[in-house]
Amino acid sequence: MARSDKGLSRTRSSIALTLEGDRYLLIDASPDLRRQLEDVGIYPRGVEGGGGVRRNLIGSILLTHGHGDHCVGLFEFSTGKCFNIPVYGPPDLLGYLFGDGEEAGFFGSLGRLGEDYLDPIPLGEDEPLELLGGLTVRGFDVPHTERRGGVYTPSRTYAYEVEYRGRRLIYAPDLGGLTGELQSRLDGLDLLILDGTFWWDDELSRVSGIPKTSYELGHIPIADSMEVLDGIGVGRVIYTHINHTNPILSPGGSCTSILRGRGLEVAYDGMVIEL
């Protein structure tokens, strides 16, 4: 029902951060990217009197992992003027997307995306990165993507910690568990945006008859994460990456009341957050 009801449906998760409103840092490039950027007025657009020249407001892009709902939207930057937008992410992810010298990579056969339009830059774990003239960003490993024969498929998964003048946020839209390492970063955190794909571990079998659990798909269910977060004292917690089976999309439902009672929030398209 949530998918067909305009008020309840959601596009896929991504966020854009800005300091002054003139340049943006995009985290993840969903298949809905064009609509999302247009809705908030930051899609590359023609300059008035510029003879077809487009202006780009996306200063850089961070990618969390290689699942399609987080990265295939990059092709939106593959037409018109070449902006050479830096794209950061786990090294194995950038190899998978743009090639490693021998293999062409996912985008390698789609034209000059990784040569002229984007500038892929592998980001080591916890390596500090200065962006937008003041933000410090760090990517760190979180459990989510499957590991086959010791290799992450299609890539490992980062969550991102962003700091600006002592204020900190963590963005972790796909998260298999609140590990001890992640919990150690939550102390004094101002904003946590995290995986709210499913409420129950067995939600897919309950609602859609699909015999896969939330944990099997690499997502900690909200019923568990809210217990772990209880008492940790994060300033603000917002669930994102909501599946359309999730009962928190039902405005008057009991799960929605439970979340509200704990002061936890649910993201929606076009949500603006000031930190």
Nearest distance from residue 173's CB to Zn ion, in Å?
6
Nearest distance from residue 219's CB to Zn ion, in Å?
8
Q: Does 28 bind Zn ion (CB under 5 A)?
A: no
Binding segment for Zn ion (CB under 5 A), chosen from 64-72, 88-96, 123-131, 266-274, is 64-72
Q: Which of 69, 92, 195, 265 binds Zn ion (CB under 5 A)?
A: 69
**Contact of 235 with 191, CB cutoff 8 Å:** yes
Nearest distance from residue 19's CB to Zn ion, in Å?
27
Q: Does 174 bind Zn ion (CB under 5 A)?
A: yes
Q: Does 67 bind Zn ion (CB under 5 A)?
A: yes
Binding segment for Zn ion (CB under 5 A), chosen from 29-37, 67-75, 205-213, 246-254, is 67-75
Which residue, 168 or 219, has its beta carbon nearer to Zn ion? 219
Nearest distance from residue 7's CB to Zn ion, in Å?
22
Binding segment for Zn ion (CB under 5 A), chosen from 23-31, 50-58, 171-179, 260-268, is 171-179
Binding region for Zn ion (CB under 5 A): 67, 69, 174
